Amino acid sequence: MESLLKWAILNGATAGEDAPARSADAPVPQRLDPAVIDAILGKPASVQMTECLDAVEHPETPLEAREVALDDLEMLVENIDNASNLEPLNLWP
């Protein structure tokens, strides 16, 4: 726990604060691969909403899969921010 606190102090301080200077042997932060972040966090809600409607409109999608897709879309639209994206994504006439 103490090492986490030290890391937070070292990495959270700005140049104007009196945090200890970073030593030469300190590890350099690496850039994360966007694919890894997408795998961890999942797809954006706008992409999920588009995929749900694509599944509903596809003629070969079974009825049960369409119902699941509509349920998923309903769950996503319950968030008001996602609901306001229906028109810009051309998901609503």
- Compute the average pLDDT of residues 11-40: 74
13: pLDDT strictly greater than 70? no
Please give the pLDDT value at position 83: 83
**Segment 14-29 mean pLDDT:** 67
pLDDT of amino acid 64: 96
pLDDT value of residue 21: 65
Angstrom distance (rounded) from CA 68 to CA 56: 9
pLDDT digits (tens, 9 = 90+) for 36-88: 888 898 888 888 999 999 999 999 999 999 999 999 999 988 888 888 888 88
Nearest 5°: the CA angle 69, 57, 42 is: 40
The Cα 59–Cα 40 span in angstroms is 32
Q: Distance (Å, rounded) from C-alpha 3 to C-alpha 25?
A: 16
Q: How far apart are CA 9 and CA 16, in angstroms?
A: 13
Numbers of helices and strands, H then E, in the chain: 5, 0
Query: Residue 70: exposed, middle, or buried by beta-carbon count in 10 A (0-12, 13-18, 19+)?
Result: middle
